[in-house]
Structure 1
């Protein structure tokens, strides 16, 4: 790992996984909150819409975003038809933006479902007591709902970060040469370079990092 190239690959993996986790949390928590407290009659249907992407192939979902963000895809076609660009642009593909966007779309359910499970288990008596004692809705959310839902937040962040850190499909399809992640290097060591000892060493590095993240998440959840 003394080679700066591998340090850069590890940094790409860590920063991408961190961005995916943050954006997935920004989307998943409001969605879980809406399912738990706002959606009533249509809760089952919305829950099904959150879960149904998991029934689709991971590769298909990633490749769909490659088509959408491509030069002849929906985004470029829309910008060109609106006159915002003179022609197709390459800003949306083969960079960290496209990888993060794709992984956020894929892993939002893994963030939403644990948070929804925590919110669903909350005692409505505590919320009603907070409101009866004069707390405003935002204060009730900040002092009651958010702290009690943190186990779901920790679990969702752990799932999302670990899965994003070890992903190789999205970087292969949408990342380009500058957004190679550690899983892609491991695959190349086993498949192209035939350097199995080094590939195994890199795999152990990934396992150690993921186990450390899982351990930190478990400790935070207990606290």
Structure 2
């Protein structure tokens, strides 16, 4: 028995080893490099490999970093809230209303945005919201406005709208998977006990779908923090986020140690917030149960 278990473990290790090595090389090594650079000193057009904590002191003492980090967290929270609120009805409709033989088609349609480049989708929103874009041109042709609306672009709202559209499929799919796993007999039992559709949804469907909602929140929130294309194009560079600040330090100012310290600090803040969110979610589920 022990020999058989050993053979299975060895076989599993051989299967897992290639993707594990790939993940370590492609993800672990760059992260360790960034971590190491954050403790080095910046020289003129070079990096001085001497240990220092000055980069982290500069990051935490910089009021600009605190302002931009708070803005990034706020934008990410708004994008996550908007995305999940829009994704849940779509996932619910797909799970409970669409006939089983049509669900594959709907999932196929939801994944169509992945066929195009993320950069192209951002540019499309700039065309839609621009000064001479689709919305302004349409309203002018209908006689609703005389002058183009200037508030549609280069603001927080346009950034949130663009990011919510870009990450919507990432939120729809995990919520749909969680809804599909719900035993329909539990919903029927709630109805048999006299609960309304709304109360059945609140007491049964929503708690059972929370793992999918939680996955959607993390899948959307974490990458939005690191987005720099949308703030640069849709925000016009007027509303920089922490990724834009890191890019500026790394490329424009060629200060790789300080840029690395900014990146590590941002990752730590996001990791702490994600851990707190997971802990609060578990506590919420225990209370509901």
Length-normalised TM-score, structure 2: 0.74
- What residue ranges of structure 1 are gaps of 5+ in the alignment? none
Deviation at 1:220, TM superposition (A): 4.6
What corresponds to 1:30 in structure 2?
Answer: 89
SS in structure 1 of the partner of residue 182 of structure 2:
coil
Offset of residue 45 of structure 1 = 1.7
Instruction: Quote the RMSD (CA, aligned, Å).
Output: 1.4
Q: Pick from 17, 20, 25 the counterpart of residue 79 of structure 2.
A: 20
Deviates more, 1:26-35 or 1:72-81: 72-81
Are the equivalent residues in 2 in contact too, given 1:28–1:112 (CA < 8 A)? yes
- 1:55 — aligned with what? 115
Question: Could you tell me how far apart the structure 2 residues matched to 1:88 and 1:125 are?
Answer: 54
Partner of 2:155: 95
- The whole-number CA distance in structure 1 between the counterparts of 2:116 and 2:195 is 43
When structure 1 is superposed on structure 2, of 176-185 and 25-34 the one drifting more is: 176-185
How many positions carry a matched residue from both structures? 223
In structure 2, what is the Cα distance between the partners aligned to 1:216 and 1:38? 35
Q: What are the residue-to-residue correspondences of 1:52-201 with 2, within 5 Å?
A: 52-201=112-261
User: How far apart in 1 are the matches of 2:281 and 2:178?
Assistant: 12
Cα displacement (A) at 1:217: 4.2
- Separation of aligned partners in 2, 1:12 and 1:55: 30
Counterpart-to-counterpart distance in 2, 1:9 and 1:70: 25
SS at match of 1:66: helix
* Cα deviations by residue, 1:156-205 (Å, 9 ceiling, x for unpaired): 01111111111111011111233100001101111110111110110011
CA contact (8 A) 1:162 1:213 kept: no
Distance 1:221 1:2 in 2: 32
Q: Relative to structure 2, which stretch is displaced further, 203-212 or 192-201?
A: 203-212
Q: Please, what TM-score do these two structures have when normalized by structure 1?
A: 0.95
* In the alignment, structure 1 residue 3 sits paired with structure 2 residue 62: yes
CA distance in 2: counterparts of 1:14 and 1:78, whole angstroms: 34
